[in-house]
């Protein structure tokens, strides 16, 4: 890639992007979205078989390589790691053009690009940055996030997975849970306890771990929806090189906060495959008309209230993204975004139950009715992902409203 290519104007960049996409993808066909047409499947998180996962991951990686090699894989990233160091507006230009084309979903890479790569860039050793950043953005590897444990979810600092220094390697033993994409990831960001004698927030360290290393065992977790979107991961004498640190030893809480901030930004904005509520509400309005209950005043009131809350959440998300684009750190907007998302999904699910009644739990074969049951069963999981609703309320209460902190359990 030449210096001249990197100093491209917005107009020339848009022409390059259009040319690349026209040569490598087809324009999206017009999709008919009338009620009763196409699949009526609706869910909070996609649930696929291992075979379906393998096909989707393979397609995502293949497309990512083409995009990266053409100069559009990491438009804003540092040149030394494979980026083009162009302004963030250029990413928006490319994304808007690509949205018109039918390209493979990049959902499997969402966690790696949205949460792990920014953490590596901020806290990784030079060896970690050189080895993994280009590979992540090019689609050579996929990353997962290894934070929660059976006894440490909302209270993440209570985690007990241990890492002990053994010569020029760290020896890791423990268990992580609720890990999305662990079964197809090559690396993971893991937070371990490295000094049990320090206060719980100060004895943690972050690492990049090879998910294919000896001693790593991934087991799927079956959900009440019937799918298995998450995994539990066991580590038995897993060795991590000393240069695979994220941040300083015993300073892993800062590393974790960087990842969590990016996670809440992604989830709150409906990223990572999670719905935001808008398209689901449009489907429910069509369903209410189909069932002849669209004139019911209570249902109309619920539809209006849900729509208003979704729009308020959208404006809050735009405010947070505007701060990020301008180089600022977002404040409580990300906690508001995450809490608003789960509340809007709950409102949408309750509205669906109100409109459908028994049709939601009895499969009559009627299009667009019983399909909502999977959505209803999936919503509670989103109240846990990326920080529970209770944690988000505590953050807002303490940092925005100035309320006193809850007394810690350890006290």
Do the domain assignments include residue 286?
A: yes
pLDDT value for 4:
42
Does residue 310 share a domain with residue 212? Answer: no
Are 122 and 259 in contact, with CB atoms under 8 Å apart?
no
Q: For the chain, count helices (H), then strands (E).
A: 13, 10
Do the domain assignments include residue 390?
A: yes
Does residue 389 share a domain with residue 290? Answer: yes
Do the domain assignments include residue 81?
A: no
The rounded distance, in Å, linking the Cα atoms of 279 and 50 is 27
Does residue 225 share a domain with residue 308? Answer: no
pLDDT value for 224:
86
CATH number of the domain at 223, please. Answer: 2.40.110.10
- Which of 345, 372, 307, 330 shows the shortest CA–CA distance to 40? 372
Does residue 299 share a domain with residue 199? Answer: no
Please give the tally of structural domains in the chain.
Answer: 2
Does residue 289 share a domain with residue 224? Answer: no
pLDDT value for 348:
95
Q: Domain residues for 300?
A: 275-399
pLDDT value for 275:
66
Does residue 246 share a domain with residue 148? Answer: yes
Do the domain assignments include residue 133?
A: no
Do the domain assignments include residue 290?
A: yes
pLDDT value for 411:
47
Does residue 239 share a domain with residue 169? Answer: yes
**Considering 263, 318, 333, 390, which one is annotated as catalytic?**
263
Residue 263 appears among annotated catalytic residues: yes
Domain boundary among 188, 217, 250: 250
pLDDT value for 407:
75
Do the domain assignments include residue 29?
A: no
Does residue 382 share a domain with residue 288? Answer: yes
Domain boundary among 199, 216, 250: 250
DSSP reduced 3-state for 143: strand
- Which of 239, 172, 177 shows the shortest CA–CA distance to 204? 172
pLDDT value for 387:
74
Does residue 291 share a domain with residue 333? Answer: yes
pLDDT value for 389:
85
pLDDT value for 250:
97
pLDDT value for 337:
85
Query: Could you give the residue ranges of the DSSP H alpha helices within 277-357?
Result: 278-291, 297-325, 333-356
Task: State the angle between helix axes of 297-325 and 278-291 in degrees (0 to 180), rounded to the nearest 10.
Answer: 170
The rounded distance, in Å, linking the Cα atoms of 162 and 237 is 10
Do the domain assignments include residue 27?
A: no
Do the domain assignments include residue 326?
A: yes
pLDDT value for 249:
97
Domain boundary among 195, 216, 250: 250
The rounded distance, in Å, linking the Cα atoms of 263 and 190 is 15
Does residue 218 share a domain with residue 285? Answer: no
Does residue 239 share a domain with residue 282? Answer: no
User: Residue-wise pLDDT tens for the chain (411 aa)?
Assistant: 444 445 799 999 999 999 999 999 999 987 665 688 888 989 888 788 889 999 999 999 999 999 999 999 999 999 999 999 999 899 999 999 999 999 999 999 999 999 999 999 999 999 999 999 999 999 999 999 999 999 988 788 999 999 999 999 999 999 999 999 999 999 999 999 999 999 999 999 999 999 999 999 999 998 888 888 889 999 999 999 999 999 999 999 999 999 987 776 666 555 545 566 688 999 999 999 999 999 999 999 999 999 999 999 988 888 877 776 676 766 677 778 888 989 999 999 999 999 999 999 999 999 999 999 999 999 988 888 777 888 888 888 988 889 998 776 654
Does residue 299 share a domain with residue 241? Answer: no
């Amino acid at each position: 890639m030449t210096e001249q290519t990197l100093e491209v104007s917005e107009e020339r960049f848009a022409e390059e992007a259009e040319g690349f996409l026209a040569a490598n993808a087809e324009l999206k066909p017009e999709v008919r979205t009338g009620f009763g047409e196409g699949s009526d499947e609706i869910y909070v998180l996609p649930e696929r078989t291992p075979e379906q996962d393998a096909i989707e991951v393979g397609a995502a990686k293949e497309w990512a390589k083409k995009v990266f090699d053409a100069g559009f894989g990491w438009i804003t990233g540092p040149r030394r790691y494979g980026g083009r160091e162009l302004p963030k507006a250029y990413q928006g230009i490319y994304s808007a053009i690509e949205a018109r084309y039918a390209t493979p979903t990049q959902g499997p890479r969402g966690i790696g690009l949205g949460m792990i790569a920014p953490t590596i860039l901020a806290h990784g050793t030079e060896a970690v940055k050189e080895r993994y950043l280009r590979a992540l953005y090019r689609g050579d590897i996929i990353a997962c996030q290894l934070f929660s444990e059976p006894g440490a979810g909302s209270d993440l600092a209570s985690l007990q997975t241990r890492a002990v220094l053994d010569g020029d390697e760290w020896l890791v033993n423990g268990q992580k849970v609720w890990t999305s994409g662990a079964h197809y990831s090559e690396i993971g960001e893991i937070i371990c306890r490295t000094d049990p004698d320090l206060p719980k927030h100060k004895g943690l360290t972050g690492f990049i771990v090879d998910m294919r290393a000896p001693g790593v065992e991934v087991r799927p977790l079956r959900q009440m929806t019937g799918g298995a979107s998450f995994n539990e991961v066991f580590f038995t004498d897993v060795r991590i090189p000393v240069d695979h640190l994220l941040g300083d030893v015993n300073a892993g809480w800062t590393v974790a906060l960087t990842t969590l901030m990016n996670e809440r930004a992604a989830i709150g904005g409906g990223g990572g495959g999670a719905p935001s509520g808008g398209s689901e509400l449009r489907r429910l309005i069509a369903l209410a008309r189909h069932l002849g209950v669209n004139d019911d005043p209570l249902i109309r009131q619920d539809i209006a209230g849900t729509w208003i809350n979704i729009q308020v959440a959208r404006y809050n998300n735009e405010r947070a993204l505007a701060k990020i684009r301008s180089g600022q750190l977002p404040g409580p907007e990300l906690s508001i975004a995450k809490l608003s998302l789960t509340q809007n999904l709950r409102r949408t699910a309750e509205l669906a139950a109100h409109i459908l009644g028994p049709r939601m739990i009895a499969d009559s074969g009627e299009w667009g009715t019983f399909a909502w049951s999977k959505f209803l069963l999936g919503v509670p999981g989103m109240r846990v992902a990326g920080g529970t609703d209770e944690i988000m309320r505590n953050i807002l209460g303490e940092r925005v409203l100035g309320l006193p902190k809850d007394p810690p359990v350890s006290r």
